[in-house]
A = this chain, B = another copy of it.
């Protein structure tokens, strides 16, 4: 059974999340072994929240669950790439489709992403 190298990153591996249809990179999160096993078992992206220090079923509050379509692992076994179907269209808690909604241009940030929802309406 393949398993990412969790020991290398102090129990966590970074997980890149990509939209299976548009190929847009939606976010980066982290998994520990428990999150990895839960993701494999349920088919729904489950991460380890470093800020809350707890297992995090993505979309638990917002309903914006990520259905895992494909899982890739990198050459060093220390990074995961998930190809997902993003329910509710948006991955970012700010309401944008992707967490990478800002482009760096001439040393400044310019918003280029697509806003899908109002966080105040979703996280009540």
Contacts and interface: CB of A to CB of B under 8 A. Distances in A.
A72 B73 CA distance: 23
A93 interface: yes
Residue from the set A28, A73, A79, A103 with the largest chain B CB neighbour count within 10 Å: A28
Given A2-B108, A14-B28, A74 B103 contact: no
Assembly stoichiometry (copies): 2
B23 A102 contact: no
A79 B22 CA distance: 20
Contacts of A75: 92-94, 96, 99, 101
Given A23-B23, A79-B28, A107-B1, A72 B14 contact: no
A18 interface: yes
A100 interface: yes
Interface string A3-20: 000000000001010100
A107 B2 contact: yes
Contacts of A100: 72-74, 79, 81
Given A28-B14, A28-B79, A79-B28, A71 B104 contact: yes
Sorted nearest first, the 8 A-B pairs with minimum C-beta distance are A23-B23, A72-B100, A71-B104, A74-B99, A1-B107, A28-B79, A81-B100, A75-B99
